[in-house]
Homo-oligomer: A and B are copies of this chain.
């Protein structure tokens, strides 16, 4: 299974592509950091992020996408940008017709280090070891994205298959009542 993991951020967005099967060591395919300029306007930044992620999905053809879940408790100054970036990342996977799974930071840490409270250095160290790398990923921002991809492969096997089956069933199904565009009544 090939998974593309995304650690969403507006200024720095980590992307990691990993191959493997549940319970076995994984193989690194590639990793990236997408940068956008904080001095630029939001639309331009989201557009660059969208295009870059869409290109990477097209290039690496993962079977599924894993995105870190964002919480409101995070740094308030940057959390809105991070949430918008995560929306763009989830959408990039969904637009490519792929199952997209989100994981909390604790789930990711627990999957790769055994502890949901592990610090960044511990996660980076385990990612380096689990992928059999000679040195920690550089830029370091990619380590969390690689951890997400590993987490998804190890934990997500079943969940991903279920989600894919459900998504496929839905694509063939008539529009659901819950989704609608209602046009206004006036004129």
Give residues in A with beta carbon < 8 Å to B. Answer: 28, 30-48, 50, 52, 55-56, 70-72, 76, 79-80, 83-88, 90-91, 93-95, 99-100, 102, 133-135, 137-139, 142, 163, 167, 170, 176-187
| Cα–Cα distance between A39 and B28 once the two chains are bound (Å) | 35
9 contacts between A and B (CB under 8 A): A28-B187, A35-B178, A37-B179, A42-B102, A44-B94, A47-B91, A84-B90, A88-B88, A135-B186
Give the number of times this chain occurs in the complex, counting copies.
2
CB pair A47 B94 closer than 8 Å = yes
Q: Which residues of B contact A187 (CB under 8 A)?
A: 28, 30, 133
Q: Which residue of B lies closest to A15 (CB)?
A: B181
Q: Choose one: B137, B184, B186; the contact of A184 (CB below 8 Å).
A: B137
| Cα–Cα distance between A187 and B142 once the two chains are bound (Å) | 14
Q: Which residues of B contact A91 (CB under 8 A)?
A: 43, 46-47, 50, 88, 91
| Cα–Cα distance between A186 and B47 once the two chains are bound (Å) | 28
CB pair B186 A134 closer than 8 Å = yes
Q: Which residues of B contact A142 (CB under 8 A)?
A: 184
| Cα–Cα distance between A138 and B182 once the two chains are bound (Å) | 10
| Cα–Cα distance between A87 and B56 once the two chains are bound (Å) | 20
CB pair B50 A185 closer than 8 Å = no
CB pair A182 B32 closer than 8 Å = yes
Given A46-B94, A134-B186, do A32 and B88 touch, yes or no (CB 8 Å)? no
| Cα–Cα distance between A74 and B2 once the two chains are bound (Å) | 38
